[in-house]
Amino acid sequence: MAGKLHAGDRILLSGTVYTSRDAAHKRISTLLDNGKPLPFPLKDSVIYYSGSTPAPKDLPIGSCGPTTSGRMDIHTPRLYDLGVVATIGKGERSKEVIDAICRNRAAYFCALGGAGALAAQSVTSCKVIAFEDLGCEAVKRLDICDFPLIVGIDCNGGSIFER
């Protein structure tokens, strides 16, 4: 899939994504360092840098906008190297992350910042799967349908941030 995408393309993503932010990334790195099981399979996964608000009555999730991606850059190359196919967030990425995206034929998608309620409309189910003590930063499994994204960095290193 990633090989057909180019920086600036607009897509509607459907499927399963896993939320993970700063604290969860640190814990995942520690689990990897210690050879412990992870809360979700990295192979072919998509990670969304988001910390959602509590779900209103009769909805699967509250507001779930993107977090600034650069805060996860220290952990991200390793995750791409272990099979992550895409990450979703907002903002630029480090050279190390761009290199990992290219090396692994992966992608980085940008979600619209400041529109967490709009993003939530694409979430069909939400389940906390790890680190519940982190509250909004707990790892969640989200099933999404037609989540609007822009290809921020493609597998050839093309970037919307260099235009």
Predicted TM-score (pTM) of this structure: 0.95
The lowest-confidence range among 25-29, 134-138, 153-157 is: 134-138
Please report the DSSP string for 18-87 in residue order. EE--HHHHHHHHHHHHTTPPPSS--TT-EEE-B-PPPPPTTSS-S--PBPBGGGGTTTHHHHHHTT--EE
What is the SS3 assignment for 98? helix
User: Domain-by-domain residue ranges, the chain?
Assistant: 2-156
**Among residues of the chain, what percentage have pLDDT more than 90?**
82
Predicted pLDDT at 63: 87
pLDDT digits (tens, 9 = 90+) for 3-38: 799 999 999 999 999 999 999 999 999 999 999 999
Nearest by Cα to 73 from 51, 100, 106 = 100
What fold characterizes domain 2-156? fumarase (3.20.130)
Average pLDDT value for residue range 97-116: 92
